[in-house]
Amino acid sequence: MSIRKTIAAISVLLLTLGLGACGTDTGTADGTDPSANAGKAATPMTKEQAAKYYEDLVKPYNDALDEFQLEYYSNDGVAASDAAAKVAKAAKAASEKMNKATWPKNAEKYAQATANDFAADGVDYGKYAKCTTISEMNSIQRTSSSENPSAGLRKILGLGSVPGFDYFTVVDSHSNGVEADTGYATGSFTIRNGLKSTVYYLSATLSIIDANGNSVSETYPQSQSPVPAGGTWTADYVIMPDDLTKGDRIKITGISWGTDESMSNSYQIAMDSEPLNLR
């Protein structure tokens, strides 16, 4: 569940964010309150009840976490601090709800580990809430685990993958195919900056994919000008003939950028765009 090894490396774990899916009702599928099951003789929730209960309790946490990350990546220390307080509150509430419920037997250990991670996030984000700058947040030593027990819980409960946070989106893509005279494949991806601040040296990791979906080679186009909030940048690619023998598609698998021209703070997050055919 933890999103950080340290908060400076928050982006590395973006795809392993612990938790969520949407929901509104905190009761189980049959209308009962799972917290009423607490106690030695309590009847465990069914898989379906537990899945709904988990999705509902984790939604406020995910919403608060999304707000925090947007402010953090936008390099707004004051707004990130305010958002961190919301994450801390939501994490503590989620931990309490996790501990009140009686989980299916095969989910118990994952539920307990996830509850512990929620509690640790409540401590960590409570510390971030006392900071006024991103640099202060980066200096705080985490207490939460770098593991992701919620992934095991989601699997046991039959839930899908964790939702991602789209701070950068592909708004257009185009393949020109292979040039007859050179044998090179060319094309482009146009990426929108969804942050609240200008980014510098925006770069995309473009992965060439083989027939099995494996990355066999990469290229790293980089913007030569700052990209303002809401602005776009077109990442052009040129693929050599030798690489075309290894794979037949290309997609974005990562984004990196700096918060200023001196790159005093830089981030890298995973991304998974729709692939383009190279030929």
Residue scoring higher pLDDT (8 or 77): 77
- More confident call, 221 vs 4: 221
Residues 6 and 138: beta-carbon distance below 8 Å: yes
Torsion, CA 161, CA 107, CA 103, CA 98, rounded to 10:
-60
- Who's near 51: CB < 8 A, 6+ residues apart? 157, 158, 159
Q: Select from 44, 60, 51, 43 the least CA-distant residue to 27.
A: 51
- For 151-196, what is each residue's pLDDT tens digit? 889 999 999 777 667 799 999 999 999 999 999 999 999 999 999 9
Tell me the C-alpha distance between 14 and 246, whole Å. 29
pLDDT at 17: 36
Structure confidence at residue 265 (pLDDT): 87
User: What 8-state DSSP symbol labels residue 74?
Assistant: T
**∠ CA 182-187-190, rounded to 5°:** 160
Q: DSSP character for 103?
A: -
Instruction: Quickly tell me which residue has 């099995």 as its tokens.
Output: 212
Average pLDDT, the chain: 86
Whose structure tokens read 């705080």? 140
Q: Which of 172, 170, 177, 210 is nearest to 193 (CA)?
A: 170
Cα 12 to Cα 109: distance, rounded to the nearest angstrom: 26
Q: What is the pLDDT of residues 230-245, one digit of tens each?
A: 999 999 999 999 999 9
Angle between helices 47-73 and 108-128 (to 10 degrees): 20
pLDDT (0 to 100) of residue 41: 52
What confidence tens digit (pLDDT) does each residue in 36-70 have? 544 445 899 999 999 999 999 999 999 999 999 99
Residue 108 CB burial class (10 angstroms; 0-12, 13-18, ≥19)? middle
pLDDT for residue 23 is more than 70? no
Rg, C-alpha atoms of the chain: 22
Choose the most confident range, by mean pLDDT, from 23-27, 83-87, 133-137, 166-170: 83-87
Beta partners for residue 188, in sequence order: 174, 236
